[in-house]
């Protein structure tokens, strides 16, 4: 089993924010994360479910056991043009669904 954390981001329809999910193979797990570019430490925010960040945010996360970081820190720069899942803004625009000229 890996000690690494997987970070995924899904852009929201407005394209300026993303829903971030942190996942690990270990369960239960203490995953800590930061949004300010610093490395996670035992006092960093504890992950308890998906959260929303602005595009341009760097998310860093790591698995902690007994107050010590296990494995390596994982990092993702959340940007609408790269490193995100399911970024299909054109599907969220009303014009696509309104067009029935065939």
31-61 pLDDT, tens digit each:
999 999 999 999 999 999 999 999 999 999 9
Record the tokens describing residue 41, joined without a space. Answer: 């430490």
Report CA Rg, the chain. 17
| Rounded mean pLDDT, 79-102 | 49
pLDDT greater than 50 at residue 101:
no
pLDDT greater than 70 at residue 87:
no
Record the tokens describing residue 31, joined without a space. Answer: 């995953």
- CATH number of the domain bearing residue 63: 2.60.40
3-36 pLDDT, tens digit each:
889 999 998 867 789 999 999 987 778 999 999 9
Provide the pLDDT confidence category of residue 102 given band limits of 50, 70 and 90. very low
State the residue range of the domain holding 58.
5-98
Higher pLDDT among residues 62 and 83, named by residue: 62
Record the tokens describing residue 50, joined without a space. Answer: 């998906």
Total domains in the fold of the chain: 1
Closest residue by Cα to residue 26 from 47, 1, 59, 62: 1
pLDDT at residue 72, as a whole number:
92
pLDDT greater than 60 at residue 95:
no
Strands of the sheet containing 51-54, edge to edge, are: 5-11, 17-24, 51-54
Cα separation, 65 vs 68, whole angstroms: 5
Whether 9 contacts 83, CB under 8 Å: yes
């Amino acid at each position: 089993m890996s000690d690494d954390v997987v970070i995924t981001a899904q852009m929201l329809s407005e394209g300026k924010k993303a829903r971030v999910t942190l996942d690990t193979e270990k369960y239960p797990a203490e995953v800590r994360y930061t949004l300010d570019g610093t490395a996670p430490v035992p006092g960093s925010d504890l992950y308890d479910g998906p959260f929303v960040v602005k595009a341009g945010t760097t998310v860093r996360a790591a698995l902690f056991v007994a107050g010590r970081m296990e494995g390596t820190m994982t990092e993702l720069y959340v940007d609408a043009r790269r490193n995100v899942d399911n970024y299909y803004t054109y599907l969220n625009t009303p014009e696509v669904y309104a067009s029935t000229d065939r």
